[in-house]
Amino acid sequence: MLLQPLADLVSIFAKKGITDVILSPGSRCAPISLAFIRHPKVHARTISDERAAAFIALGIAQQQERPVVLVCTSGSAAYNYAPAVAEAFFQQIPLIIITADRPAEWIDQWDGQTIRQSKIYGNHVKASFDFPDDFSHQDKIWHSHRISNEAAFIANQFPEGPVHINVPLREPFYPEEGEKYDFDKPIREIGTVATHFTLPDETKEKFKVKLSNYKRILIVPGQQKPDKELAQILNRLAETKRAVVVADTISNLQSEHTINFHDHFISIAELQNDLRPDLIISFGKSIISKGLKLFLRKSQAQHWHIQPGGYFPDTYQLLNKAIHCHPVKFLECTEKHISSEKAFAEAWSTANTKVSAHLGPLISNTEFGEYKSIATCLHLLPTEAKLHLANSMAVRYVNFLGERSQEIICNRGTSGIDGSNSTAVGCTFTTKDPVVLITGDLAFFYDRNAFWHNYTMPNLRIILLNNHAGGIFRLIDGPAKQPELEEFFETHQRLDASFLAKEFGFDYSLATDETSLESGLKTFFTKSIKPKIIEIKSESPKNAEILKRIKNDIAGLF
């Protein structure tokens, strides 16, 4: 078969355990799509909207922790992948993007569906390959096999991320009747050997000695998947107050011993000196709390960041040790040598406990709105649920509300509103556990094509905060003070989710006060054959007022 190297590409991926592919329909990509569809070990799904398709693939890869393949036709289809590709790059999620293309001689010749696709994703992929455009010579076939092996290896290599393969195809590119892809032919797969990212013994001893110089040690984990081993070490350090562990909700490392309410008190001037560390130890990716970032940038502490490889961000402008190691390996060997002053640990613990004791009653006694509604929903959330959070206010509300036992998933690589629905949909394809998305109206309606497919999602639950505006802009001093706020920043819209629910076959309930919210939540998390939406309607100005009032009430405690 003339296009056998495409079958070989799929076979190489399958041998490496890469068996999920999201296809978007097209003609130029047909031979690639058919190769994946016909391979007996590949699970192929089709999603028509490429932007949604890419985020759905990202949602699958987040959970499976192995590459998911995307395939689209030539032209602007490839550009529609770009937001998810950027998110995958910064969130370090492995994707392999395969774009069909015209042969090189037809680029810039006004041929249909033809753009400049080579290296189209720029610096937001780990690698970009151009597949051979003919296989008449054995070296071309060897080259295609090499690309297939290398793409899979790079996507999986720390830090994981997206890899692009651009495939120029000449007509005819549909198999003839009776023509088959040969998935049984012997093919060379290049194996790789994994490393464990440990430190040499001599280096370990040096760090043990260095740690004795610090008495106000702050550990700040960034976004990551749940890690039981890491959580156990951090809990021991936090419980014994040998270190202060400040954990945003997206770290998936919160516990009763970690500091979870820092966003409420970190900016209070009277507390700054007592809370200031002399050493920051960080790992994982980004954090949510802007207040914590600003506090740490002013702290003048030393900063050690731990990760197995890749570039090292200097988030707090204090980085002086970049440690190539897995955090568990580092903490295992240094745990007994981490020790903080009691007064430092107590200052953090006292502030955290004070907020924890007062926040619940303050929310309970306030009027109906987003803050109170989210607190009510979280109280009923099943322990086994996977909780997806859209950006802007959804993730911030949950971060304000303290410890969560569920796995938290949020697209904080680029922190955009696009793709939240689709990422949650991708997650539903990997688990039977409840997948719960908390989202605002702009993010929700922006990504409505996430539901435009033929696959069932009975475990999907969506909590939609619809204030008919981009409410976060009322909380940012810049736009909040502008006379153009309502028209040009909040983006007022009149949509509600009832029509979408009917169109896509969701169970739907509307909450406009505490009574209707409690009624809607009674069966919201129970099993069903349909996905469910509960739409919580509120007013943007009132939500901003409630949030500011509670913030001020908390500040008044100190």
Percent of the chain with pLDDT over 90: 82
Residue 409: what are its φ and ψ, rounded to 5°? -130, 130
pLDDT recorded at residue 487: 57
CA dihedral 13, 17, 19, 24 (to 10 degrees): -50
Residues in the chain: 558
Query: Exposed, middle or buried, 220 (CB in 10 Å: 0-12/13-18/19+)?
Result: buried
Query: 41 near 14, Cβ under 8 Å?
Result: yes
Instruction: Name, in order, each residue with C-beta under 8 angstroms of 492's C-beta and a sequence gap of 6 or more.
Output: 468, 469, 486
AA letter at 343: A
pLDDT exceeds 90 at position 504: yes
Going by pLDDT thresholds of 50, 70 and 90, the confidence category of residue 471 is: low
pLDDT recorded at residue 163: 98
pLDDT in tens, 117-137: 999 999 999 999 999 988 888
pLDDT exceeds 90 at position 479: no
Going by pLDDT thresholds of 50, 70 and 90, the confidence category of residue 198 is: confident
Q: What's the pTM value of the predicted model, to 2 decimals? A: 0.94
- How far apart, in whole angstroms, are the C-alpha atoms of residue 149 and residue 79? 25
pLDDT recorded at residue 108: 87
Helix axes 327-334, 201-211, angle to 10 degrees: 60
pLDDT recorded at residue 190: 79
Going by pLDDT thresholds of 50, 70 and 90, the confidence category of residue 196 is: low
Average pLDDT rounded to a whole number, residues 284-289: 95
Average pLDDT rounded to a whole number, residues 19-42: 95
- How far apart, in whole angstroms, are the C-alpha atoms of residue 373 and residue 361? 14
pLDDT recorded at residue 392: 87
Query: 428 near 459, Cβ under 8 Å?
Result: yes
pLDDT recorded at residue 490: 61
Helix axes 30-38, 4-15, angle to 10 degrees: 40
- Dihedral angle sign, alpha carbons of residues 355, 356, 357, 359: positive
Lookup result for tokens 């790789």: 192
Q: What is the DSSP letter of 347?
A: H
Bridge-partner residues for 100, per DSSP? 167
pLDDT exceeds 90 at position 13: yes
pLDDT exceeds 60 at position 374: yes
Query: 162 near 155, Cβ under 8 Å?
Result: yes
AA letter at 88: A
Of the candidates 141, 135, 240, 180, the residue with the CA atom closest to the CA atom of residue 37 = 180
pLDDT exceeds 90 at position 474: no
AA letter at 61: A
pLDDT in tens, 131-162: 998 888 899 889 999 999 999 999 999 999 99
Going by pLDDT thresholds of 50, 70 and 90, the confidence category of residue 183 is: confident
pLDDT exceeds 60 at position 1: no
pLDDT exceeds 80 at position 64: yes
Per-residue b or e along 297-306, where b marks 16 or more CB atoms closer than 10 Å to that residue's CB: eebebbbbbb
Query: 465 near 437, Cβ under 8 Å?
Result: no
Instruction: Name, in order, each residue with C-beta under 8 angstroms of 549's C-beta and a sequence gap of 6 or more.
Output: 366
Residue 344: what are its φ and ψ, rounded to 5°? -65, -50
Query: 277 near 297, Cβ under 8 Å?
Result: no
pLDDT exceeds 90 at position 284: yes
Of the candidates 459, 421, 458, the residue with the CA atom closest to the CA atom of residue 439 = 421
Range of lowest pLDDT (162-176, 217-231, 427-441)? 162-176
CA 558 to chain CA mean position, Å: 35
pLDDT recorded at residue 475: 60
Domains and CATH numbers, the chain: 4-168 (3.40.50.970), 201-353 (3.40.50.1220), 366-555 (3.40.50.970)
